[in-house]
C-alpha cells in the first residue's frame, strides 16, 4: 500500500510540474501574440520545476533505498563479510 501511495504522490507532483510548465508557455505565447513583442518564459517557474523535480527524486530514492535495507542494516545485494 505504501508503494502505491509513493507512486501516486510522484505522479501527482509530476502532473503539477507539467501543468506549471505548459501553463507558463501558454501564457507567454498568448502575451506574445496579443502584444506583438517577444515575452520570455518565467525563470521562476523553471526554478520551481527544477526544485520540485529534485525533491521528488530525493523522496522516492530515499523511500525505495530504505525499503531495500534488511533489518541488520545491510542491503539485499550487499557483499559485506560482516553479515
pLDDT of residue 78: 62
What is the grid cell recorded at 30? 498568448
Distance (Å, rounded) from C-alpha 29 to C-alpha 2?
41
Spell out the per-residue pLDDT of the chain, length 83, in tens: 778 888 898 899 889 999 999 999 999 899 998 988 888 888 898 899 899 989 989 988 888 888 776 555 666 666 665 55
Rounded to whole angstroms, the Cα distance separating 24 from 49 reads: 11
Cβ-based neighbour number of residue 40 at 10 Å: 8
pLDDT for residue 74? 62
Phi, psi of 38 (to 5 degrees): -70, 130
The residue extents of the domains of the chain are 2-67
* Cell numbers that stand for 25 in this block: 508557455
Q: Are 66 and 73 in contact (CB under 8 A)?
A: no
Amino acid at each position: 500500500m505504501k508503494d502505491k501511495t509513493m507512486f501516486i504522490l510522484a505522479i501527482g507532483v509530476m502532473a503539477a510540474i507539467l501543468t506549471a510548465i505548459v501553463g507558463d508557455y501558454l501564457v507567454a505565447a498568448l502575451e506574445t501574440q496579443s502584444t506583438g513583442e517577444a515575452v520570455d518564459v518565467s525563470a521562476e517557474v523553471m526554478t520551481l520545476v527544477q526544485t520540485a523535480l529534485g525533491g521528488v527524486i530525493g523522496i522516492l530514492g530515499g523511500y525505495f533505498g530504505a525499503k531495500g535495507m534488511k533489518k541488520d542494516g545491510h542491503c539485499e545485494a550487499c557483499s559485506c563479510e560482516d553479515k
